[in-house]
Each structure stands twice: as C-alpha cells, then as structure tokens.
Amino acid sequence: MVVRVRRTGGANPRVAVRDAAPAARGTLEPGLLRLARWRLLAMHHTAGVGHLGGNLSAFDVMMLLHHELLRPEDRFVLSKGHAAGAYYVTLWSRGLIGDAELDTFHAEGTRLAGHPPARGVPGILFGTGSLGHGLSLAAGLALSARLQGRARRVFCLTSDGEWQEGSTLEALIFAAHNRLGDLTILIDHNRLQGFGSTAEVASMEPLATTLGGFDVEIREANGHDLPEMRRALVPGTGRPVVVVLHTVKGHGVAEIAGRMDSHYLPLTDDQFRDAVVGRPPP
Amino acid sequence: MRRQLCDALVARAQRPDLVFLTGDLGFGALEPLRDVLGARFINAGIAEQNMVTVAAAMASDGLEPWTYTIAPFCYARAFEQIRNDVCLHGLPVRMLANGGGYGYGVMGATHHALEDYGILSTLPNLHIFVPAFDEDVAATVAAAGAIAGPAYIRLGRGEMPAGEVAPAYAPWRRLRGGTGPVIVAVGPMAGVAWAALAAEDVLQDADLWAVSELPLSLCPPPDAFIEAVRASRRLCVIEEHVAQGGLGHSLAAWCLERGLPVEGFRTLNAAGYPSGTYGSQGFHRRESGLDAPAIRSAALALAAA
C-alpha cells in the first residue's frame, strides 16, 4: 500500500532554504502518522524483533521531516541506525518502499536489514548502525553543499546515548567550527540506552545545557508534538542547530512506553493487539 | 615524498571538485597546496574519525576528497570509518598516510605503521598504493585519482640507489632482470634491496621486482613475474610490514593456488621492537633484518638452494 500525502501548499522546491517555511510544503496529518505507526508495529510484530522502543521514540520526527520539510535538494542522515524500522516505514509512507517488502524486514534475503544498508534502498543515502558516524556524514554533506554553492538543509537524527561516542563530539566540534548553519542535529532524547538510563550510565545531563557550551543554537521540543517540532525545526541563523527532542521510548504503546526492555523485546500478540485496536474492556 | 606529493596535488588542484582534508598535519610542507586550494583545503583538526567520514560524505556528493595524516592515525584510529563509511559504500576517498613502516623512526611505536596494508587488504575494493621512489608520487596520485573506489596511499621515503634510474611507474616493476632468485620488495624497500644487490657477485643474477599496488586480488602480478617464478622456483618477499597480512603470505598463497613450483621461499618482515629500544628507521630495519646485509644473506641462501 502506498499512502498519498495531501499537499496543502505549492512551494517551489528550489526556493532558498531560508524561505522554505515548513507549513508551506505540506502537512503531516495525524491520521497518517497513526496509520504509519500501526504499520511499524505490524512490521516489527511480523518480524518478531525488538528495537521497537527506539523506533517509536524517533518515528514522529522522521515522519515530520519526510512529509513536510525535506525538499529534493535536502538530505537526511539517520545516525541511530537501530531505528531502521521507523526509517523503512517512513519511506513506505512516501511510496519509496512497497508494502509487501516491509514484511521482509529481518527475513532471509531481505534488503531491509536491522540497520539501514549502505546500498539498495531508495531514499537511504548511507548505511549506519554503529553509533557515532551519522553526524560526520551530515557535516560532510553540509560542507560539501557550501563548497559547491548549493542551498541545502541537512538533518541528522542521533540518539542521546550516541553522544557518549567520541566521534560524535568530533563531528560537533567540526560542525560548529565550520559554522554549518544549514545543519540541523536532532537528538532523540528518550533517556534510555542499552543497559540503563543515560543519566545512570554516562550522564551528560542536562543535555541541552551541556551541548550549549558549543557554538551552536540549542532548541528543545516535545518529540511527539508536531506543532512544537515544526517551530523547533525552522532554519537557523548561521550556526548549527541542535534540537533536543524530549521523547518516550516505546511511545504509543502503553505497555512498553518508557521501559528499557523495549530496546530488545518484540511485542507479544496481546501487546500488539492492544496497541493497534485498544485494550478490550475487562 | 611530501614535497612531491604537494607538487602533484597542487597540479591536480585545478580540478574544481578536489578537496583536501588534513588531520592537522602539513606544517612546513603543504602550505603551497593550502594557498592554491583556499576553502577546499580543510584542516579537520585532530579528529581523524570525523575527517574520514566527512570525506566519505563529500565523495558521495560528487567531490574528490583526499585525506592526509600520519598513517596509524588513519588506518588504526579511523578503521571503522574506513570500513563502514568509505568501503561499504565504495566511495572514492583517497587516504594519504604519511610514514609507512618505521618512517617516523625514533618518534616511536605509536607513529609506526607496520600492519596497515594487511589490515586494509581485508576491506572490499580498497586499492592500496605504496610508491617506491620519490619519482613515483605524481604517477601514484594520478593512478589513485583515476580509480572509481577508495584508495589508501602509504607514503615513505624514496631510496633510489645512486646511479640508478627506476623504470616508469607501474604496479609491478622489474627493476633488474636475472635468472637467480626472484626478489620482490614492497614500496621503498625496493630501493633498499636494489642497493643491497648491487655488488659484483652472484647476486647480480637476482631478479628484482618492486610492488607498489595491493592487494593481489585487485592488482595481480604480471605474466612476466609468473614466468620468472616458474623458471627460478625461488622467491623472496621483502616488506616493511609484519608477516601476518603482508604481501609475502598472500603471494605464497597466490603461487600455491596457481600451481607455481616454488621450492625456496623467504619473507623478510618488520619484527616490531625486539630489543625494546627505539631509533631511526634504519635502526628498526636493522633490528628486523630488513637492512642490506640481511637482504643479501637471505638472497644468497636462496641462490645457493
């Protein structure tokens, strides 16, 4: 199934970045977002795999970017490659991946591996999965555009635990020093990582304050509130923009929301049913 | 080779897509390149992992990035970036690695590159260049710039023996013909071996080859080399690289797989730091048995076999 997105604006995709107001490009309807989330749950349930929590925390902003913000000349880099499922379903919602193919997720011979592959999936520029690579890729794309005189916004979605990787900080230093103002760094701040909370494991809290020590523009938003994210994602003014998205791991599935095991465990049949159709009355 | 490198890249800088990224290296050597490239000369700072991945992204976007740093800070520090971001994507990033082998001498083990091309040879489609002489650098830059995929260029110090003139650059070059043992040397060790075998004695009959491109899967030996091995049946490989992963082992397997009748086989390799002390590149070569007397000794033993 290919979902057609209703366009409410007729913006010229070639207008300068600063003139490209997100509201003029199209609207991510809440109904489409809900439908796509169900598809994400179904895909993971069919595959019987975990990593769902970090997909659900990152999903809303990925959908918003791909339905409202990304113009043909813009670029998106998913640095938290373990949110591949959310990425595949987002691309499905844009018609770039067929519905039947989603059912091959994690299966033998699939193109849709547990982390985005380097080649072969339309819309995916880079294979990622090892944390700490995406921000350098995004910075490279942003600087490349500047050197070639192209107007382009680059969005990079990182996890919060990923900021413990030294290479992520290398990339931030590079982006800030080179004043990559067309780079927007999104942090899925769901506060849970592999074996504990980010505050317990290697705290950088408060994250926005810590990263605010760099020469970047810090913004914060509820990562599940579309209007709030739209405001946070307007272009910056000459410095890289860091948007700390306050999110919930497992968002939208009551039984796993905010739980660390949502990083690993697949949904049970009951959890899947409850998430899609609601819990039956007692 | 730094001066020759700078000259070659300055000439190539006319290409509008060329971008040069350095890991804070190049003082006293690359200023002419910086001046000609302007904004396309990027000091990426002491952050090699980021530098390699930034270069990968630039290559994916149509630019021609070259990165530059001390060899181990490239292949060892940024190995995962080379593996994931450059090689898995097959992107044409050219990685210039200064100080191949013991090139940094008494600066110590952290700055040496004794296992670089062995490690990198395990990655898909990564073309490795090891120029032997200063005169090779321009051709190496041209060759690395011409391939469609990634390249690692191990730079050292050219050691052309006095009075000799190397044949034009080629991945495999016969420096001197003969019917004695076949001697294969990687990169600058070719010059060391050439000088070692210069005496008017039985080793005048050795068949000496310089190898400047690896791995064998991407750059196999020419037919003339196969014929030479078939005739001589004695083969010695000399390289400033540890034995594991080196050309010696891979060439031995290559010969076996093709049924070449090698009856006498030796490899001379970097031995690490057997005395636990440090010195010049020559000091470490001597300790490893990569100096002229050791090369002569190995060749004589094979010649007598």
pLDDT above 70 (res A107): yes
Task: Give the mean model confidence (pLDDT) for residues B88-117.
Answer: 98
Q: Is A124 on the interface with B (CB under 8 A)?
A: no
Domain extent, residue B206, equals 172-304
Q: How confident is the model at residue A266 (pLDDT cuts 50, 70, 90)?
A: confident
Secondary structure letter of residue B85 according to DSSP: I
Residues B137 and B180 in one domain: no
Nearest residue in chain B measured CA to CA from A138: B57
Residues B195 and B141 in one domain: no
Alpha carbon distances (Å) from A271 to A12, A45, A51, A107, A275:
44, 10, 15, 22, 6
Q: Which of B50, B60, B89 sits opposite A174 (nearest CB)?
A: B50
Is residue B17 domain-resident? yes
The answer to whether residues A93 and A101 touch, using CB atoms and an 8 Å cutoff, is no
Domains of chain A as residue ranges with CATH: 31-277 (3.40.50.970)
- The pLDDT tens digits for A116-132 are 999 999 999 999 999 99
Residues B150 and B176 in one domain: no
How high is the pLDDT of residue B59? 98
What percentage of chain A exceeds 70 in pLDDT?
Answer: 90
Main-chain phi, psi angles of B267, to 5 degrees:
-125, 140
Q: Is B81 on the interface with A (CB under 8 A)?
A: yes
Q: How far apart are CA A187 and CA A243, in angstroms?
A: 6
Q: How far apart are CA A279 and CA A271, in angstroms?
A: 9
Identify the CATH number of the domain in which residue B222 sits. 3.40.50.920
Most B CBs within 10 Å: which of A73, A77, A135, A137, as the mutation test of the B interface?
A137
Residues B246 and B126 in one domain: no
The answer to whether residues B66 and B98 touch, using CB atoms and an 8 Å cutoff, is no
Residues B239 and B275 in one domain: yes
CB contact burial B272-282 (16+ within 10 A = b; e otherwise): ebeeeebeebe
Task: Give the mean model confidence (pLDDT) for residues A10-17.
Answer: 30
Q: How far apart are CA B151 and CA B212, in angstroms?
A: 13
**Cβ separation A167–B44 shorter than 8 A:** no
- The pLDDT tens digits for B219-236 are 999 999 999 999 999 999
Q: How confident is the model at residue A261 (pLDDT cuts 50, 70, 90)?
A: confident
Residues B123 and B183 in one domain: no
Residues B7 and B137 in one domain: yes
The answer to whether residues B3 and B29 touch, using CB atoms and an 8 Å cutoff, is yes
Tell me how many domains chain B contains: 2
pLDDT above 80 (res A95): yes
Q: How confident is the model at residue B300 (pLDDT cuts 50, 70, 90)?
A: very high
* Cα dihedral A90, A93, A95, A98 sign: positive
- The Cα of A165 is separated from the nearest Cα of chain B by a number of Å equal to 11
In the numeric block, the tokens 């927007």 are attached to: A184
Residue type, B43: N
**Cβ separation A133–B19 shorter than 8 A:** no
Q: Which of B19, B54, B89 sits opposite A136 (nearest CB)?
A: B54
How high is the pLDDT of residue A25? 60
Domain boundary among B96, B121, B154: B154
Residues B131 and B7 in one domain: yes
Q: Is B58 on the interface with A (CB under 8 A)?
A: yes
Q: Is B83 on the interface with A (CB under 8 A)?
A: no
Tokens matching residue A136: 């350098």
Task: Give the mean model confidence (pLDDT) for residues B22-40.
Answer: 96
The answer to whether residues A91 and A123 touch, using CB atoms and an 8 Å cutoff, is yes
Task: Give the mean model confidence (pLDDT) for residues A140-166.
Answer: 98
Tokens matching residue B111: 């700055």
What percentage of chain B exceeds 70 in pLDDT?
Answer: 100
Residues 6 or more apart whose Cβ sits within 8 Å of residue B144? B94, B127, B129, B151, B153
